[in-house]
Amino acid sequence: MQETAAAEATGTAAPTPPAGESAVFPVLISLGFCHLLNDLMQSLIPALYPMLKQQFQLDFGQVGMITLAFQLTASLLQPTIGSYTDRRPQPYSLAVGMGATLLGLILLSIANDYGSVLLAAAFVGTGSAVFHPEASRVARMASGGRYGVAQSLFQVGGNLGGAIGPLLAAFIVLPRGQSSIAWFSLAALLAMLVLTRVGMWYSAHLRQMHAARRAASASHEIPQARVIFFVFLLMLLVFSKNVYTSSLTSYFTFYLIERFHLSVQDAQVQLFIFMAAVAVGTLVGGPVSDRIGRRPMIWISILGALPFTLLLPHASLFWTGVLMIVIGLLMASAFPAILVYAHELMPGRVGLVSGMFFGFAFGLGGLGAAAMGRIADASGIAFVYQLCSYLPAIGLVVWLLPNLERGRPRRTA
């Protein structure tokens, strides 16, 4: 089942899945749904910062420590957990990880001091660190060879959850107070039940996964040094995509208000449209990459966005809205292709690769937002978008990546 990588220079083609093998869509949809719930709960924490700051009389430095506690566990633990489960698969770790999120939400709803808030944030981050690499592995197992489709279905759930979470925080938690956070623990409980059923399917298919891993490892011919270099290039691409995206999600409303004098509500509507375009781009990017190949998809997604990002700082309000939709569609379609390409570079290390890229992507979003905030304070919000408009030019590094699919028949279903 596992596709294997082959160097362009050797022309070795990876084996295709058996003709009778098909995607297990109930498992993929379940993973996407649980990804929605996970990222919904994860996105609650920054949305609650104003309430927590006021209730516990925190300064901005202490608010930043909450982010650090969450991101240290959510980002840095992911590669470690992924590497461990590559060697020792844990079918029910998905439900156990979601249990950590459940504990974090309950603790956050009853926290009466700053230390308890930090501990709650760390629990939620730990749940996210367990979930992402292992869920990405199961999505690949259930793909039936349609790896891009599987990653798109999985990732679009996270996009939707990240967009919905702040809205629910605004309409449920902020008016009703800290104790209402406990209601969201029901979402974690529901996810645990669904993931337990997914774990049963995962456990039944472990033998198939081991056989695929042995076949993948036996035919891998890219030298390790080149694999490391290619992974570095892929992370550069993720850097360009996520720093640009974080600048939009964090500061786009301020940009619209400052430049076009929109109301807060109108600016939020524009941001929601952008987030919807991101979700659609994620959903479409995987199936398209299955048809045209990972490398062409990455070319189109990253470098193809460059003309539109360069135009954005100079566009009118109408064309700003149009350009944002195009940019969101293009840049979001890159990540499924990048992740599947990385899986093919390192066959048998799906957990490690997924943990690296999900953790790296999440950490870059936070670092990018912080850096852009500093630049905005010093030079203005408009300058941020002029500076960020050149980030997609990093897509030129795709030229250095080999075509892993050369000589391999593509799935068109």
Query: 272 or 41: whose pLDDT is higher?
Result: 41
Give me the pLDDT at residue 14, please.
37
Give me the pLDDT at residue 369, please.
66
Statement: residue 23 has pLDDT above 90: no
Query: 226 or 364: whose pLDDT is higher?
Result: 226
Sign of CA dihedral 301, 307, 310, 316: negative
- SS3 state at 288: helix
- SS3 state at 203: helix
Name the H helices within 6-146: 25-47, 49-55, 60-71, 77-87, 93-110, 114-141
Give me the pLDDT at residue 265, please.
73
Statement: residue 168 has pLDDT above 80: yes
Q: Which long-range contacts (CB under 8 A, 24 or more apart) does 315-318 make?
A: 317/256, 317/260, 317/262
Question: Which of 4-8, 13-17, 377-381: highest mean pLDDT?
Answer: 377-381
Give me the pLDDT at residue 16, please.
39
Average pLDDT of the chain is: 83
CB under 8 Å to 204, separation ≥6 — which residues?
Answer: none
Sign of CA dihedral 85, 91, 94, 96: negative
What global pTM score does this model have?
0.75
Give me the pLDDT at residue 10, please.
37
Percent of the chain with pLDDT over 90: 35
Give me the pLDDT at residue 409, please.
47
Give me the pLDDT at residue 123, please.
94
- Rounded average pLDDT over 254-264: 84
Give me the pLDDT at residue 213, please.
56
pLDDT band at 122 (very low <50, low <70, confident <90, very high): very high
Query: 117 or 376: whose pLDDT is higher?
Result: 117
- Rounded average pLDDT over 295-322: 93
Separation between Cα atoms, residue 272 and residue 75, nearest integer Å: 25
Query: 361 or 95: whose pLDDT is higher?
Result: 95
CB under 8 Å to 190, separation ≥6 — which residues?
Answer: 37
pLDDT band at 359 (very low <50, low <70, confident <90, very high): confident
Question: Which of 31-40, 56-65, 272-281, 399-408: highest mean pLDDT?
Answer: 31-40
Give me the pLDDT at residue 314, please.
92
Percent of the chain with pLDDT over 70: 87
- Do 116 and 122 contact (CB within 8 A), yes or no? no
Which tens digit of pLDDT belongs to each residue from 186-226?
999 999 999 999 999 998 887 666 555 555 554 456 788 88
Query: 389 or 364: whose pLDDT is higher?
Result: 389
Separation between Cα atoms, residue 357 and residue 151, nearest integer Å: 13
All domains in the chain, ordered by first residue:
25-400 (1.20.1250.20)
The secondary structure of the chain in percent helix, strand, coil, rounded to multiples of 5, reads 80, 0, 20
Query: 288 or 251: whose pLDDT is higher?
Result: 288
Which tens digit of pLDDT belongs to each residue from 62-98?
877 887 788 778 777 888 888 888 888 888 999 999 9
Separation between Cα atoms, residue 218 and residue 197, nearest integer Å: 32
Statement: residue 4 has pLDDT above 70: no
Statement: residue 344 has pLDDT above 50: yes
Give me the pLDDT at residue 105, please.
93
